[in-house]
Amino acid sequence: MKITKISLFQKVLPYCSGSLAIGDLSENRTKPFDTFTSSVVVINTDQGVSGVGESCPWVSDNLNEKEVYDCLASRLLGEDPHNLKGIVKNMDAVIQGHTFAKSAIDMACWDIKAKDNGVPLFELLGGMLTDGAPLYRCVMEQEHDKIKAEVEQYRASGYKYFKLRVGIEPDKDIELIKFAANLAEPGEIVYADANCRWTLSEALEVVKAIEGLDVMIEQPCLSYEDCIKVRENTGLLIKLDELVTDLTMAKKIVRDHTADVVCIKMSRVGGLSKALEIRDFFVKKGIKVVTECMMGGEIVSAAVSHFSASTPSEFLFNTGDLHAYVTASTGNISPPTLNGRIYCNDSPGLGVEPDLTSLGTPIAIYQN
């Protein structure tokens, strides 16, 4: 089998609730987004099997540049999409970094391989080890009555994991975390995501003030060294996200006992192939994982559902139904969600096809 054609689409995805404040290291510490730009790749082969992939960055300066796809496509035309190790090696040889573009292509090749084998993707990733992965929900509000209303809304839909957005002002963060922790019912987990925005002194101030609460702290500081110091000065559980960038960093985290939970985002590490390697390493070492991606539509969520389903349930912390955060479509059909869990479609491959009506005309087509 050979790759004969690669089509690139881009789709603007509006955020479902107006504006999403993403952690930022500027003076304001947050950067609002009301839309995200998703790139969708469709790969065709000489045997009539096609695959689809998607990636969607949060930040406007890390978009999937067309020029990057130009470079990657020229190297991949004529290659066998079944040879995933070769695809990854070729992409890394062409250009360093640009993990978002590589992730979309890698995902499409996995889709082709699973379709050609006539099986849902999770079968190639290790089998169905978690039938219904638990989902978390971001609690975006800062006012107490709105936080309570949002938690109650998600609880009614079956969610048990609630992520708070913190990292702006330590005093307000402390107040917010204490309030939210008291809202939690038995079996629910509250954790506070600083998105790297606390300085070391701020992080230490916060964890000292909330010591003893049943909460988890996510990515308190920007540097690995500062996160280690936070870890050394608190009994609270620690989750790392932005620092989980590759297998080398994964090995450092295990070596230094820096985290209780780690988040593996496919597009941050360069694709599903690399994400699987990192996941399997953490699982082998007994570290719980979050298996997800950055942002995106139904295609990304489908890949996330298979990534999560093939993770041992005892080591799967939670995941995200990313398509639920946006109001435009990239694919049909979305993976089903029920009672705060996400499931896989059982058709061959990802179980989703590109929504060509929504995606419109490709911005680039590469073929021999």
Query: Where are the chain's structural domains?
Result: 3-118+357-367, 124-353
The mean predicted confidence, pLDDT, of the chain is 94
pLDDT-derived band at 62, boundaries 50, 70, 90: very low
| 3-class DSSP state of 43 | strand
pLDDT at residue 34 in the model: 86
Partners of 338 in beta bridges: 341
Beta carbons within 8 Å of 292's beta carbon, 6+ residues apart: 263, 264, 265, 266, 304, 307, 308, 319, 320, 322
Partners of 277 in beta bridges: none
With a pLDDT cut of 90, the percent of the chain lying above it is 87
The answer to whether residue 150 scores a pLDDT higher than 50 is: yes
Q: In the CATH scheme, what architecture does the domain 3-118+357-367 have?
A: 2-Layer Sandwich (3.30)
pLDDT-derived band at 27, boundaries 50, 70, 90: low
Report the chain's terminal Cα–Cα distance, integer Å: 15
Write out the E strands in 120-267: 133-134, 136-139, 161-165, 189-193, 215-218, 237-240, 261-265
Over residues 293-339, the pLDDT tens digits come to 999 999 999 999 999 999 999 999 999 999 999 999 999 999 999 99
With a pLDDT cut of 70, the percent of the chain lying above it is 94
The span from the CA of 150 to the CA of 152, in Å, is 5
Is-contact 330 359, C-beta < 8 A?
yes
Over residues 63-82, the pLDDT tens digits come to 557 899 999 999 999 999 99
Which residue, chain included where needed, has tokens 């609730």? 17
The span from the CA of 73 to the CA of 57, in Å, is 20
Q: How far is CA 238 from the centre of its chain?
A: 18
Which of 347, 322, 223, 225 has the alpha carbon at shortest distance from 267? 322
Q: What is the pTM of this model?
A: 0.95
- Give the homologous superfamily in CATH for domain 124-353: Enolase-like C-terminal domain (3.20.20.120)
Over residues 177-229, the pLDDT tens digits come to 999 999 999 999 999 999 999 999 999 999 999 999 999 999 999 999 999 99
**Residue 211 Cα distances to 27, 160, 166, 217, angstroms:** 28, 22, 16, 11
pLDDT at residue 26 in the model: 63
Which of 17, 28, 58, 242 has the alpha carbon at shortest distance from 140? 17
